Amino acid sequence: MGVKERREREKSETRDKILDAARELFITEGYEGVSMRKVAEKIEYSPTAIYVHFPDKNELFRELCHQDYARLAEVFQSSVMSTDPVDRLKQIGAIYIEFGTRYPNHYKFMFMTPHPAHEPDDVDREMMGNPEMDAYAFLKWAVQQAIDAGCFREELRDAALVSQTLWASVHGVIALEIAKGCDAWVDWRPLRDRAEMMLDITLRGLIRTAGGEGK
Amino acid sequence: MGVKERREREKSETRDKILDAARELFITEGYEGVSMRKVAEKIEYSPTAIYVHFPDKNELFRELCHQDYARLAEVFQSSVMSTDPVDRLKQIGAIYIEFGTRYPNHYKFMFMTPHPAHEPDDVDREMMGNPEMDAYAFLKWAVQQAIDAGCFREELRDAALVSQTLWASVHGVIALEIAKGCDAWVDWRPLRDRAEMMLDITLRGLIRTAGGEGK
DNA sequence: GCAGTAACTTAACGTTGTTAACTTAACACC
DNA sequence: GGTGTTAAGTTAACAACGTTAAGTTACTGC
């Protein structure tokens, strides 16, 4: 009964070929710039062959991003982190910004583009909340650590709220850079400076005795 | 010689009709959801008539947003502001967030969508840097006021950098809300809470004696 | 009255995502 | 070992899109 397995393997191989081709085009061209026909051409299939493996374009790229969500979580997980909870949050922020600047098209599709709401499937449920596969869960864990260690002001007890605020702060830096970084209207300071200042002031705003320490 | 004037007036009237129709569709459907054909249909013109008044779709909506940039600056200008520089910044942030949540499609196109770089024209140059017509200039002015009043820590002397960081912080809140606010993956706290916390911690991170005051 | 201008229309092009109908090859079964 | 079934992949086509080229038409200045 190895036939079924082989067929499945073959199918998932062409599926991966599609994903790889899509990813390659996606990195340079972005979502709007990639067409199903171009993806198909790249792997020498007919355009409609893709629809055997993915219900539509959006779902194809959602799958791509799914991989990237996981990859981001992996990067978090595998990075050597400081033992100091606040330093660790700073490092998480820096890694996140690095990710966004290195893969702007992925970042744009992952975090700057609304996607129709969809019920979480089994794969989703497996990743959700698991810090090893869910970057948001990882952040929340790190925030909770900081709270438990008494690093933050006393009224800051909601790890989710703090996490979402921290996330929004770094997201704001990257998202503005991607969307308006080339806009001559604004006298932009270097991205690095903006990122550093953002991490500095938000963490300063969170920690308990805001006046004294912090290097 | 009133003929030329009348013709110009007529032309700018249909131009405005196009803009109005586009705006109305845009508010509910967003950039991708509006087609030139739908705009044309709404004003009972042929699709190509639009191209007499605007070189292409992007330029049409850029014009729309141009109006909205100015409107945002107006809202800033016309709002009664606190005399305390820090409170004022908080108010500016709140108004900005209000704007983003009320007109998400405009916000998305204005601040979350990359636009091809273009040379500033005469209208641009007139608005740029003028706090009455340029919301960013207004923010920078308010930040400079806070710096001059000695509200911020001493090392924070670059009004542009501080402004861009503050902007990014509120932008992060709105942009995440628009792009991922309906994502069940995250246990979102209420937008209001996130906005409030963001303004609170960033300003706390900026002000001079961060421990003592605050309401 | 006539030439010219400019707003506007009709028709069309090339591209897009996606569906319907088909080929074709491999497998399971009697 | 022929036969029916399944499913990957193809071809052709659809409707919608932004946009261009060519034509119409109404009004203006001379």
- Who among residues 10-39 of A has its Cβ near strand C, under 7 Å? 34-38
Q: How far apart are CA B9 and CA A212, in angstroms?
A: 64
Cβ–Cβ gap B209/A206 under 8 Å = no
A69, A169, A48, A163: which is closest to A115 by C-alpha?
A: A69
- Map chain A to HEC letters: CHHHHHHHHHHHHHHHHHHHHHHHHHHHHHHHHCCHHHHHHHCCCCHHHHHHHCCCHHHHHHHHHHHHHHHHHHHHHHCCCCCCHHHHHHHHHHHHHHHHHHCHHHHHHHHCCCCCCCCCCHHHHHHCCCCCCCHHHHHHHHHHHHHHCCCECCCCCCHHHHHHHHHHHHHHHHHHHHHHCCCCCCCCCCHHHHHHHHHHHHHHHHECCCCCCCC
pLDDT(A98) > 90: yes
Name which of A113, A158, A201 is nearest B165 (Cβ-Cβ): A201
To the nearest whole percent, how much of chain A has pLDDT over 70? 96
What's the mean pLDDT in B193-208?
Answer: 97
Beta bridge partners of A152: A207
Name which of A175, A186, A209 is nearest B175 (Cβ-Cβ): A175
- Chain A CB within 8 Å of residue B188 CB: yes
Cβ–Cβ gap B169/A202 under 8 Å = yes
Q: Is the CB of A215 under 7 A from strand C?
A: no
What region does B42 belong to: left with phi over 0, alpha with psi -120 to 50, or beta?
A: alpha
Residue A97 banded pLDDT, cuts 50, 70, 90: very high
- What are B42's two structure tokens? 């709404």
Q: How far is B158 from chain A (nearest CA, A)?
A: 9
**pLDDT tens, residue by residue, B41-92:** 999 999 999 999 999 999 999 999 999 999 999 999 999 789 999 999 999 9
End-to-end CA distance of chain A: 65
B166, B36, B174: which is closest to B100 by C-alpha?
A: B174
Which of A119, A170, A174, A201 is the mutation pick for testing B, counting most B CBs within 10 A?
A: A201
Cα separations (Å) of A138 from A99, A107, A143, B100? 15, 18, 9, 29
pLDDT(A215) > 60: no
Q: How far apart are CA B18 and CA B63, in angstroms?
A: 11
pLDDT(B213) > 60: no
Q: Is the CB of A150 under 7 A from strand D?
A: no
Is the CB of residue B145 less than 8 Å from the CB of residue A149? Answer: no
Q: Is the CB of A77 under 7 A from strand D?
A: no
Q: How far apart are CA A131 and CA A142, in angstroms?
A: 10
Residue A213 banded pLDDT, cuts 50, 70, 90: very low
**pLDDT tens, residue by residue, B161-198:** 999 999 999 999 999 999 999 999 999 999 999 999 99
Report the SS3 class of residue B107.
helix
**What residues contact B3, with CB distance under 8 A and at least 6 apart?**
none
Q: What H or E segment, with its residue span, contains residue B20?
A: helix B2-33
**pLDDT tens, residue by residue, A137-158:** 999 999 999 999 999 999 999 9
Q: What's the predicted TM-score (pTM) here?
A: 0.93
- What are A196's two structure tokens? 């550093």
What's the mean pLDDT in A96-121?
Answer: 93
Report residue A187: phi and psi, to 5°.
-85, 70
A17, A43, A22: which is closest to A33 by C-alpha?
A: A22
Cβ pairs A/B, distance under 8 A:
152
Give the CA-to-C1' distance from A43 to D4 in angstroms: 33
Residues 118-147 on A with a CB inside 8 Å of B are 119-120, 124, 128, 134, 136
**What residues contact A64, with CB distance under 8 A and at least 6 apart?**
A19, A22, A23, A26, A106, A109
Is the CB of residue A156 less than 8 Å from the CB of residue A162? Answer: yes
Least confident of A110-114, A208-212, B169-173: A208-212
Give the CA-to-C1' distance from A49 to C29 in angstroms: 30
In the DSSP assignment, the letter for residue B128 is T
* Chain A residues inside the 8 Å CB shell of B214: none
What's the mean pLDDT in A78-106?
Answer: 95
Q: What is the pLDDT of residue B116?
A: 85
Is the CB of residue A205 less than 8 Å from the CB of residue B142? Answer: no
Cβ–Cβ gap B173/A175 under 8 Å = no
Q: What is the pLDDT of residue A210?
A: 46
Average pLDDT across chain A, whole number: 93
Neighbours of B184 (CB within 10 A): 12
pLDDT(A212) > 50: no
With tokens 């920078």, the residue in question is B140
Residues 60-79 on A with a CB inside 8 Å of B are none
- Chain B CB within 8 Å of residue A184 CB: yes
Beta bridge partners of A207: A152
With tokens 């390659």, the residue in question is A24
Cβ–Cβ gap B182/A117 under 8 Å = yes
Cβ–Cβ gap A185/B124 under 8 Å = yes
Residue B122 banded pLDDT, cuts 50, 70, 90: confident
Is the CB of residue A82 less than 8 Å from the CB of residue A142? Answer: no
Q: Is the CB of B12 under 7 A from strand D?
A: no
- Please indicate whether residue B17 or residue B122 has the higher confidence score (pLDDT): B17
Q: How far apart are CA A195 and CA A213, in angstroms?
A: 20
Exposure string for A83-116, b = 16+ CB within 10 A, e = fewer = eebbebbbbbbebbbebbbebbbbbbbbbbbeee
To the nearest whole percent, how much of chain A has pLDDT over 90? 84
Q: Is the CB of A3 under 7 A from strand C?
A: yes
**pLDDT tens, residue by residue, A174-203:** 999 999 999 999 999 999 999 999 999 999
Q: How far is A88 from chain B (nearest CA, A)?
A: 18
- What are B76's two structure tokens? 């800033």
Q: What H or E segment, with its residue span, contains residue B150?
A: none
